[in-house]
Structure 1
Amino acid sequence: MRTEYTYLAIDLGSLIVPLIFSFHPKLLFYKKWAAFALSNLMVCMLFIPWDMYYTRLGVWGFNPAYLTGIHAGNLPLEEILFFICIPFSSVYTYHCLKLFFPAMREKVPHEVITLLLVFILMGTGFVYIQHIYTSVTFFVLSFTLILLTLFEVPWLPDFYFSYLVILLPFFIVNGILTGTGPDEPIVWYDDFENLGIRIGTIPVEDIFYGMLLLILNTALFEYFDRRFSKQHDLHKQSHTAVHAETMIESHTR
């Protein structure tokens, strides 16, 4: 494979299996594509400008040797696809795990996990506030977790469980992007803007940046999925009522 297709191959490789298995009769995830599309569009409206700004600041950047050369503003096409392909595969995984392991909701101590995360992230963000990638990511994720807790969303335990599972492919994909395998990193970072702590080649902040990206996609996905399900149920009830009324009229004539 030519190196300029490396990042694109990573994006599409993460998408292909969830895309195909969306049509599995036990999953039927394709019926939830509309909910995902709306949620992902809204999250992209936050993350893509954020990415563009950090790229302009030099917080991170991209190695042109692994890119097709197609750009939108200062972002390569592959980076934009990343914000679509990775959330799609992750929300698909969340959907599957929620479907097949419903009992995990009762076993995950989500209140304790949230409290620990907020405490650690807030504290670290304040101590290292001069590192923009660290502080902004940690603060925004902390506030997001606090809001979700205040709204008492029932799916948070499912998300924590799915994110734990997702971390394995996350380390593989992000490892390749940050230099595990290729001769040079596909995505590079200015370590002055982060803690300088790496798991292999991956900045530790990426774990929480990824969590923020996926929890926002999941939150909006759950919201739109419920809305669409209610609309479908109301439409079905209305259709049933009309059909029943028609049958009654035909029998009374």
Structure 2
Amino acid sequence: MNYLYLVVDLASISVPLLASFHPKIGLSKHWDILWPSLLLCAVPFIIWDSFFTRIGVWGFTPKYLTGIYLFHLPIEEILFFICIPYACVFSYYSFKTFHREGFKVPAEGFITLFFISLALISAVIFHERAYTFSTSILLAAFLLYLRFVVKPRWLSMFYYAHMFLIIPFVIVNGILTGTGLDEPIVWYNDAENIGVRFLTIPAEDLFYGLLMLILNVFVFEKLLARKLSATTTKTLARELN
């Protein structure tokens, strides 16, 4: 039982990790940028997570843990910020590989503005609740940055892939928050959230997960673009010489 959280982490990454070597997907060829991007994105979430754990916004049930801690967090929680984003980026990259270049969701702009509006309204109404406010305001700020500054071409593909990730999201988060268990692996202080849950999953987890995953794809795409640009430059240089 005290390995359950670790099992959830490893189960989440196992299939995507192995499938990364599939010749039609080939994500393993980009591990040189994927692993650094995952680690980079994990840092702010680990800091955030550690702080909220110390002030009692959420916490962990020891009987589901190995007992190894790092930065005041269970090692399983640290691994969560690697395993889950890896699975997400793998799914996103796979959809991107098998769809045409320039794939576009017609409602992309509406989806972005909907989430921005919902997050801002949530931040204003529940500004005194730490989990609700922080998750809402950070998601709104990042989506505003993407929508009006970065204007990424990959956003439609992310929304499309994310639609299929909802089912594994419910399964993983359901287990972590106590669905089918005597106690939750991760417990939440309901004084710091709105108290609305789907099964055992706090509503704020939707924003939290969206922010975490879209940040990982953003950094991965940034590094991938630089890598491909550098490769193209080297190829042209060789041809000219």
TM-score by length of 1: 0.92
What is the aligned partner in structure 1 of residue 157 from structure 2? 158
Q: Which residue in 2 is equivalent to 1:84?
A: 82
Quote the offset at 1:162 in angstroms.
1.0
Q: Displacement of 1:55 after TM fit?
A: 0.2
| 1:73 CA drift (Å) | 2.6
Q: Secondary structure at the match of 2:59?
A: strand
Q: CA distance change for structure 1 residues 9 and 104 in 2, over 3 Å: closer, same or farther?
A: farther
Closer/same/farther in 2, CA of residues 110 and 31 from structure 1, 3 Å limit: same
- Cα deviation, 1:173-213, whole Å, max 9, x if unaligned, reads 00000001222100000001001000000001001100000
**Corresponding residue number in structure 1 for 2:67:** 69
1:114-156 CA distance string (max 9 Å, x none): 1111111101110110011001100100010010011211111
**Kept in 2: contact 1:93–1:162 (CA 8 A):** yes
Structure 2 residue corresponding to 1:43, chosen from 28, 41, 44: 41
Matched ranges for 1:1-253 at <5 A:
3-102=1-100, 105-150=103-148, 151-242=150-241
Identical amino acids, percent of aligned pairs: 43
- Report the alpha carbon displacement of residue 105 of structure 1 after superposing the two structures with TM: 3.0
**Tell me, what secondary structure is at the counterpart of 1:26?**
coil
| Contact persistence 1:197–1:203 (CA under 8 A) | yes
TM superposition shift of 1:108: 3.8
Structure 1 gap ranges (5+): 243-253
Q: Is the 8 A contact 2:105 2:157 kept in 1?
A: no
Rg larger for: 1
Distance in 2, Cα, partners of 1:107 & 1:215? 16
Gaps of 5+ in 2: none
Deviations 1:48-102 (A, max 9, x none): 0100000001100001100000000310000000000000000000001112233
Secondary structure in structure 2 of the residue aligned to 1:106: coil
After TM superposition, give the deviation of residue 103 of structure 1 in Å.
7.4
Aligned length: 240
Deviation at 1:106, TM superposition (A): 2.3
Tell me the distance in 2 between the aligned counterparts of 1:238 and 1:54.
Answer: 51
Deviations 1:210-244 (A, max 9, x none): 000000000010000010111122222323333xx
Q: Distance in 2 between matches of 1:108 and 1:186?
A: 39
Q: Give the AA of the match of 2:222.
A: Y
Normalised TM-score (structure 2): 0.96
CA contact (8 A) 2:104 2:157 kept: no
Q: Residues 55 and 61 of structure 1 are in contact (CA less than 8 Å); yes or no, is this contact kept in structure 2?
A: yes
- 2:103 counterpart SS class: helix
Q: SS of 2:194's equivalent? A: coil
**Equivalents in 1 of 2:240, 2:102: separation in Å?**
38
Preserved contact between residue 104 and residue 161 of structure 1 (Cα < 8 Å): no
C-alpha change, 1:112 and 1:103, in structure 2 (3 Å) is farther
